[in-house]
Amino acid sequence: MDPLQITDRDRLFEMLAQRRQGKSRIINEAEMRRTLKQRVRGQDHVIDDLCRFIRLQWGKERRGNPIASLLLVGPPATGKTELAKALAEYLFDDEKNMLRFDCSEFSGAEGKTRLIGTPTGYVGASQGGQLTRPMLSNPKRLVLFDEIEKAYAGIFDLLLSLMGEGRLTEQGSNKTADFTQSLIVLTSNAQHEEIGKLSDQFDDPFELGNAVRGLLKDAQTFRPEIVSRFDQIYVFRPLEGVVNAEIAALKIANTAKDYGVEIEHIQPELVYEIMELGDVAKDTRELARVVDSKLGDLLLKAREEGRERVRISVDALGKPMLEDACSEVQHET
């Protein structure tokens, strides 16, 4: 047999590269479910269907639009943004590979320019857009539009192109940002009471998603052409008391890690106190501030003492305290 010609060798290398790329497109669905459920509580019905859908979309070798365009709806503080963060970390290796836009800050006409940059000839044209410029440097990202119903109407024109064609042209540079390797996630609290009633009527996620599409179109929450761009719509349910406690415990554990400390055990009464003070059912950001206020000094003290793992209980007055290795206690100072 004749030796491989140079063109044949190039084709062989290309096939091998494609095969390696194919392996990277395989998602372990069970592992993904476990990972997401560790961070997002009380929404297993969303995560189970979402992981199957993402696995299928991620596995496609050819696409002309984003990996998926998702709309997450439901009451505030039910885990929509947290799920987006968890997806970014799992799919793109780092939560920092998420671009997040709070749409309440993009309610004016200038919002569209902020995303795709200033036209040529205007001040700041060389800086590019807050959306397009990061995507030009790294197209493998999760892009999150939080509370999309608050966005300026012109931004929805960008979304039509972004979700439909998988690309946006940056003003000023005229460079095209590629979104075909990205995941687009939009969240909305709009119509959540009416949507909640629909969720009681449908168990199948596909049927519920179609019912929500109809509601959003009838209520004119979004333009019909925008609603049709959503690959999947997921409905988040209100959180129950025990789930709120689990979220509070997770937030406490994450705050401890910020201080370089791992919590082996924390007294349940303290978790419930922090949960109530933080009003987790309304605002998980407030919960983070409460954790810092209640435990920050204690966790910093533990790190300064060289402790990597701690147990936290309360004294007779209900104040947090550290337990040492000999079961003696060191009170908060």
pLDDT in tens, 202-226: 888 889 999 999 999 999 999 999 9
Least confident of 33-47, 245-259, 271-285: 271-285
User: How would residue 284 be classed by pLDDT, with cut points 50, 70 and 90?
Assistant: low
Q: CA nearest 187: which of 148, 227, 237?
A: 148
Task: State mean pLDDT over 261-277.
Answer: 85
Token pair of 321 as six digits? 């305290």
The type of residue at 39 is R
Least confident of 5-14, 85-94, 279-288, 320-329: 5-14
Task: State mean pLDDT over 13-24.
Answer: 44
H-state helical runs in the chain: 6-24, 29-39, 44-58, 80-92, 110-116, 132-137, 153-165, 192-199, 205-218, 224-227, 241-258, 268-278, 284-304
- Supply the pLDDT for residue 282: 55
Residue with more model confidence, 282 or 63: 63
Token pair of 105 as six digits? 């800050």
Task: State mean pLDDT over 36-63.
Answer: 91
| Separation of alpha carbons 96 and 108, rounded Å | 27
| Separation of alpha carbons 210 and 245, rounded Å | 33
- Supply the pLDDT for residue 252: 86
Q: CA nearest 86: which of 48, 43, 38, 42?
A: 38
| Separation of alpha carbons 152 and 302, rounded Å | 47
Contact 132, 117 (CB under 8 A): yes
Measure CA of the first residue to CA of the last residue in the chain; give whole Å.
Answer: 82
| Separation of alpha carbons 330 and 319, rounded Å | 11
Least confident of 35-44, 141-150, 243-252: 243-252
| Separation of alpha carbons 170 and 248, rounded Å | 41
What is the three-class DSSP state of 306?
A: coil
- Supply the pLDDT for residue 181: 94
Query: pLDDT tens across 106-158, in order?
Result: 999 899 999 998 877 677 677 889 999 999 999 999 999 999 999 999 999 99
Domains of the chain from N-terminus onward: 9-235 (3.40.50.300), 241-331 (1.10.8.60)
Residue 233, pLDDT > 60, answer yes
- Supply the pLDDT for residue 235: 95
Q: CA nearest 190: which of 159, 155, 216?
A: 216
Residue 19, pLDDT > 80, answer no
User: How would residue 8 be classed by pLDDT, with cut points 50, 70 and 90?
Assistant: low
The b/e string for 259-291 (b: 16+ C-beta within 10 A; e otherwise) is bebebeebbeebbebbbebbebbeebeebbebb
Residue 276, pLDDT > 90, answer no
Mean residue pLDDT across the chain: 85
Least confident of 32-41, 108-117, 145-154, 234-243: 234-243
Residue 272, pLDDT > 90, answer no
Length of the chain: 333
| Separation of alpha carbons 213 and 27, rounded Å | 28
